[in-house]
Structure formats: C-alpha cells, structure tokens
C-alpha cells in the first residue's frame, strides 16, 4: 500500500542526522548554488537552512567526492542511509536533473532538481490535506488511497502514517512529508496526475489518438464506461454542431482548386445551400456520429491490451509509452472503422439525391469500385497518426508541466480554462502537423467522384498537389478546420460534464 502513494524510506531524516552531527564544510564541500556567498539565503530554494540541508545531503551522496552525483553514487550513498531504490528510479532522478547531459548531477543541478521536486511534493501535500490544517492524518491517507483505487484497512493507514511520523503526534506535517519523500522520482506521484485525468476527452472533430488513463477502481465500478459513454455523447453533439464547417473543409480539400465559388468560407457555404438547402450542411454527419462509439471502445480496449504487452502494469504511463500505446491503439481503431471514414467523405461530397442513405452509398461504392475502394487513403491516414499523436501529446505534457512549475501554488488542480487551453492548443498543433496527410487521404477517398481526376498513389498525389497548387494546396480547407476547434472543444466539454453528472461519473 505505501507504494501506491510513492512512499520511500526517510532519506531526509537520515540526512538530518548527518547535519546535526556537525554538517560543517569538508574538503569536498560543494560550492553554493549559482556562486552565492556562504551564509546568504539560497535564491533558488530560499533560506540558508535549506541550502545547508541540501549541501549536507549532497556530501553524503557524493561518494567519491568529485563534486558530482552519478547513478552509482546514488546507489551507494542511499544504501548508507538505509534506502533502497531501483536502478530505473535512480536513472530517472539523474536524467531529470542532468541539464548539461554529462551523466551526473553537480550541486546546482542537484539543488534545482530537489527544489522542483519539493514544489511538486507540496502540491501533493496540499491535495492530501483535505482539512486544510497543515497536517495529514490516517483518515486522509485512507481516503486518498481509495481515490487511487487502493483499499486498505485503518490499521494499515495508521502504519503508513507512523512510518512518516517522527514526533509521535499521529499526524504528518510538511517537513515530515518532505523528508520522507526526498529523492523519489516526481513522475511516480499519481495524485498530481489525477487532476489532469480525463482532460484529453475533448472532441475537436478528429480522432483522439491517446486514450485517457483510468484507475482500477473506475474500471471495477463501471465508471470507465460511463466516462467513455459521456465522451462519445459529447463528441456526437459537438460534431453535429460543427458539421457544416467539417463538410466545408472536405469540399475545399477536394474541389477548392477547381471551383472559384469554393475559394472562401462564405462562397463555400453559399454554394452548399444553393445546391441542397440548409439540410445539406449536415450531409455525411450521421455516419460521422455513428462511428464515434465503436472507435472509442475499440481504441480503449486495444490501448489496455497494448499496455500489458509492452510490460507496463502502471495505471499512469510515461509519455513515451503513452505515445507508442496510443498510436498503435489509434491505428487498430482506425483500421476497424476506416470504411466508415470513406463513407463519410463520399456522403459529404455527394450531390442532392445522389444517395438515399448510408447503406445505399456503401452499396453504390461496392458495386462500382469493389471492396478496395473502402480503404482508399488508408496509408496516409495511418502515417498521419504518428505526427498527430506525438505532437499532440508532447505539447499537452509541455503545457501541463509549465503550468505546474510556474502557476500551481496552492493546488495542482488546473481548473477548466487551463485544461481547455492545453487541450485545444495541443490538438491544434497535432492537426497542423498531420494536415497534408489528411488532405491527401481525403483526395484519395474522393478520386472516383471527381470527373477527370487521375487515380494516383499517395506519393504521386503529393507531387501533383505541390506542383500544381504549391505548398498552400496541401493546407487547403485549413481555415474552416481551425474555425471549428474552439466551438468543438467548448461544446464537447459542457456536454461531457453534464452527461457525467447525469450518469453519476464524477471526476475525482
């Protein structure tokens, strides 16, 4: 149970034993951070006591006295303090703090790493301190572990508390908490991550490729499926609300270079209404909504299985693992429902009366072009997953970490607007990176419907577009695509929150 909260042996307490035993300068004593004079307050961590505490700990861990701490130093130094850490965890500590990439931490890097780490620990401490009295008791530990899907007895909670409680008060203050968790990789603290869960559920009209993380408790109680159903419902409403912009994007991607009236937003809408009336603005939206549910379910199930295959039993994956698992899960889900993508494009491009419905459109394609037509554009679609998922996830993690480091003071909870801003920005960057592949995919799906259009391969179509339309041609239809991002995310969020409340799937 202690591992669920990331609890480690009391490094800080043992380090303080060394400090109280003298703690003065030695021949290997490291310099002050950033060249500051001895006795002055540490400008990084604040206070000469803090700096002195870190100096003493650095001396203990710098086993060979060369002014740097490597993985081997940490292994030996922590064993001296009675602490065992795995090599993987020690590597994470060194990698996180090693700014000059020399494989070890000098004193300044050590100070920066621990101060940043302590800031995150303070956020976790405040999150656990539900009574806001500056102390954590056994009931607060018990409830926090339950929120993480770990059920323990009151006796076990008291045992965890006693392992950190140094003064016998049966509560933990900030100093006890900090000292107990010193030199534990910050990425393994699940409580901070809980505040950012379910934040990638926002729908921007395109496939979300990296599924959310869910705790064991959410999986066992059915909360998982309530979240997924709420997300699918929110996606259906948001896509229906922005369907006219989505259809305009498809028409501009395929016909924009040939039609003068399709050259702008107003002209495109005017042409659609003139051809089929207001109802035509939503042509192809039905299949777009129908495919959300199976795609979401397949993606999540594939994601869970891939996590097991790559050997991770953690509920929270690292960014690299999430990218690999999410991209593969997205590829599997897209492969399963790809014929529906082709149907959506054909229906969006269809003229009034051309098809009586989805079944009629599918039958028409099968009889005229064969089964292979349902997988036209499949290759660029799959290739687009890698830059989309990679950039979307990387930007989101960067923005999240920036907010935690610069703006999180009393709580790790970012609030609605921060989540919306992070989700919108990261998804927009992801779409921008993969847009040329999405355009080529749509052109390939639509080749048979355009009179006189040659049947080209992916590379041939890329060269043709670049030669005849220039770089701008690869981003045709981008304006309506971006116009729908903010309303899509906003509508999706509002509906998602309402559906969660209705179905009793409240976020932690």
How far is residue 258 from each of residues 165, 253, 278, 469, measured CA to CA in Å? 74, 10, 23, 11
pLDDT for the residue 147: 62
DSSP 196: T
The pLDDT confidence band at residue 450, using thresholds 50, 70 and 90, is confident
Comparing 498 with 416, the larger pLDDT belongs to: 498
**What is the chain's Cα-based Rg?**
28
For the chain, what percent of residues have pLDDT higher than 70?
74
Coil/strand/helix, residue 376: coil
Mean pLDDT to the nearest integer, 183-200: 50
**Once rounded to an integer, what is the mean pLDDT over residues 379-397?**
85
Query: Looking at the domain covering 129-199, what would its CATH class be?
Result: mainly alpha
> C-alpha distances in angstroms, 336 versus 78, 225, 340, 493, 499?
50, 20, 9, 27, 27
Q: What's the confidence (pLDDT) of residue 408?
A: 67
Chain centroid to Cα 140, Å, comes to: 28
Quick: pLDDT tens for 82-104. 766 777 778 888 888 888 888 89
105 strand-pairing partners: 69
3-state SS of 301-349 is: HHHHHHHHHCCCCCCCCCHHHHHHHHHHHHHHHHHHHHHHHHHHHHHHH
Q: What angle do CA 321, 419, 312 make, to 5 degrees?
A: 15
Range of weakest confidence among 39-48, 347-356, 484-493: 39-48
Question: What was the pLDDT predicted at 5?
Answer: 35
d(CA 336, CA 207): 13
For the whole model, what pTM was predicted? 0.65
Asked if 183 and 118 touch (Cβ cutoff 8 Å), the reply is no
Whole-angstrom CA distances from 200 to 209, 389, 393, 428, 466 are 9, 12, 9, 13, 34
Gap between the Cα atoms of 39 and 48, Å rounded: 6
Taking residues 441-446, report their average pLDDT. 92
Query: Considering only CA atoms, which of 30, 125, 40, 137 is closest in space to residue 73?
Result: 30
Mean pLDDT value across residues 337-343 = 94
Higher pLDDT, 154 or 340: 340
> What CA–CA distances, in Å, run from 38 to 34, 35, 490?
11, 9, 53
Q: 136 has which bridge partners?
A: 172
Sign for the CA dihedral angle at 397, 398, 402, 405 comes to: positive
pLDDT digits (tens, 9 = 90+) for 4-48: 333 333 344 334 444 333 333 333 333 333 333 444 444 434 445
CATH (one of 3.40.50.460, 1.50.40.10, 1.10.8.60, 3.30.470.20) for 216-503: 1.50.40.10
Q: Which residue in the block uniquely carries the two structure tokens 């107990």? A: 180
* Overall average pLDDT of the 358-380 stretch: 93
Name the CA dihedral angle for 460, 451, 435, 232, rounded to a multiple of 10 degrees: -130
Per-domain boundaries in the chain: 129-199, 216-503
The DSSP 8-state label assigned to residue 105 in this structure reads B
d(CA 278, CA 20): 79
How confident is the model at residue 32, as a pLDDT? 36
Q: Residue 218: pLDDT above 60?
A: yes
Please give the structure tokens belonging to residue 390.
């990679």
Tokens 């594939």 locate to: 302
Which of 380, 392, 388 shows the shortest CA–CA distance to 425?
392
């Amino acid at each position: 149970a202690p591992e669920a909260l990331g609890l480690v042996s009391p490094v800080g307490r043992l380090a303080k034993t060394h400090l109280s035993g003298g703690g003065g300068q030695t021949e290997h004593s490291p310099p002050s951070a950033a060249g500051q004079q001895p006795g002055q307050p540490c400008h990084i961590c604040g206070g000469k006591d803090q700096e002195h505490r870190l100096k003493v700990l650095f001396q203990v861990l710098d086993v060979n006295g060369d002014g740097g701490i490597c993985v081997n130093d940490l292994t030996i130094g922590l064993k001296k303090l009675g602490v065992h850490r795995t090599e993987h965890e020690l590597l994470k500590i060194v990698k996180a703090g090693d700014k000059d990439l020399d494989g070890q931490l000098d004193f300044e890097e050590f100070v920066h790493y621990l101060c940043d780490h302590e800031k995150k620990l303070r956020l976790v401490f405040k999150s656990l301190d539900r009574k806001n009295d500056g102390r954590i008791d056994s009931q607060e530990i018990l409830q926090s572990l339950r929120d993480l899907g770990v059920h323990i007895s009151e006796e076990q909670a008291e045992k965890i508390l006693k392992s950190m409680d140094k003064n016998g008060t049966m509560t933990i203050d900030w100093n006890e908490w900090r000292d107990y968790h010193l030199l534990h990789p910050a990425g393994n603290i699940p409580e901070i991550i809980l505040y950012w869960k379910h934040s990638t559920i926002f729908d921007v009209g395109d496939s979300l490729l990296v599924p959310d993380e869910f705790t064991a408790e959410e999986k066992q109680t059915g909360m998982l499926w309530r979240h997924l159903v709420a997300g699918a419902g929110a996606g259906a409403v948001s896509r229906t609300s922005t369907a006219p912009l989505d259809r305009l994007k498809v028409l501009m991607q395929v016909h924009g270079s040939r039609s003068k009236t399709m050259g702008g937003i107003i002209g495109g809408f005017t042409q659609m209404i003139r051809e089929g009336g207001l109802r035509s603005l939503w042509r192809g939206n039905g299949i777009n909504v129908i495919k959300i549910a199976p795609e979401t379910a397949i993606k999540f199930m594939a994601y869970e299985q891939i996590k097991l295959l790559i050997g991770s039993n953690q509920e929270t994956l690292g960014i690299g693992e999430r990218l690999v698992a999410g991209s593969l899960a997205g590829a599997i889900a897209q492969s399963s429902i790809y014929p529906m993508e082709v149907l959506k494009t054909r229906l969006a491009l269809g003229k009034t009366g051309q098809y009586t419905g989805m079944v009629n459109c599918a039958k028409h394609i099968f009889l005229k072009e064969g089964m292979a037509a349902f997988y036209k554009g499949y290759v660029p679609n799959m290739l687009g997953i890698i830059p989309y998922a990679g950039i979307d996830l990387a930007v989101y993690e960067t923005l999240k970490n920036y907010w935690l480091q610069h703006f999180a003071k009393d709580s790790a909870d970012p609030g609605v607007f921060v989540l919306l801003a992070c989700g919108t920005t990261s998804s927009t960057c992801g779409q921008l990176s993969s847009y040329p592949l999405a355009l080529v995919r749509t052109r390939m799906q639509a080749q048979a419907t355009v009179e006189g259009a040659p049947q080209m391969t992916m590379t041939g179509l890329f060269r043709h577009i670049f030669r005849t339309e220039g770089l701008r041609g690869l981003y045709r239809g981008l304006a309506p695509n971006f116009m729908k991002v903010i309303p899509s995310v906003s509508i999706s969020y509002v509906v998602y929150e309402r559906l969660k409340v209705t179905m009793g799937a409240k976020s932690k």
